Amino acid sequence: MEERIVKVKRSVKGDRVFIRVLLFVMIGIATYTIADIVNYSLKSAESFEVKMVDDGIFKGYYCLYIDGENYDTVDYNEYLSSVDENGNTNIKMCIIAQEVGTLVKIIFMGIIFNFAYLILDNIFEPFSKKNIMRLRIMAVLTMLLGLMPEIIMNTIKMIFFYNINIRFSSINFFVMITGVLLGIISEVFKYGHELQEEIEQIA
């Protein structure tokens, strides 16, 4: 029995270290994203351009150029279908909205992983009220993770554009389903807590 407990402790310790490393990576990515948002905000709208690329091999794809340098391949609809009242688009605001959406995702994921870390910290009392509450919070945050980044990104676009292209991918749907599943698991843990209390009262 003691050997099993030692093995579990080692396994949990490894999992906690892994989550801690993930959290540090997310903090780094969030910091980098914030720096990008500030940097893009300081640039003029003319610094951003989306052009079709024809390199003789791949044809008909679009690239984002910042200050004349090729930044990345992009989805045409993501950048050029959002227009203002005069029919003009603003690549700068499109990329800032996208970066803000990415930042929101990272923040939500970081908070979710932090609660997972706290659950592992209390692994020998799995059905405790604290773990049940943490699972419920994780469920709500996961469902919001599937919605909030897109909502915030589209809200920013709605401020600057007359016509925008609103899309929710299947990934958003699956993230929300994962949140629902976490909510169901929290209810299972609640039942386990009540069952444990009954056993303790009988004993």
Three state DSSP letters for 180-201: HHHHHHHHHHHHHHHHHHHHHH
Residues 149/152/155/160 CA torsion (nearest 10 deg):
-90
Taking only the tens place, the pLDDT of each residue in 102-153 is: 999 999 999 999 999 998 887 777 788 899 999 999 999 999 999 898 888 8
The answer to whether the CB of 188 falls within 8 A of the CB of 100 is: no
pLDDT confidence of 87, banded at 50, 70, 90? low
Q: Backbone phi, then psi, for 124, in 5-degree steps?
A: -85, 0
Nearest to 186 by CA among 123, 136, 124: 136
pTM here?
0.83
pLDDT for the residue 16: 86
Lowest mean pLDDT among 55-69, 98-112, 170-184: 55-69
- Residue 127's Cβ-count burial label (10 Å; 0-12, 13-18, 19+) is middle
Categorise residue 49: left if φ over 0, alpha if ψ from -120 to 50, beta otherwise. Answer: beta
pLDDT for the residue 23: 93
Q: Which residues does 63 contact at the CB level (< 8 Å), separation at least 6?
A: 50, 51, 53, 70, 71, 72, 73, 74
Q: How far apart are CA 138 and CA 189, in angstroms?
A: 14
Q: How far apart are CA 78 and CA 20, in angstroms?
A: 34
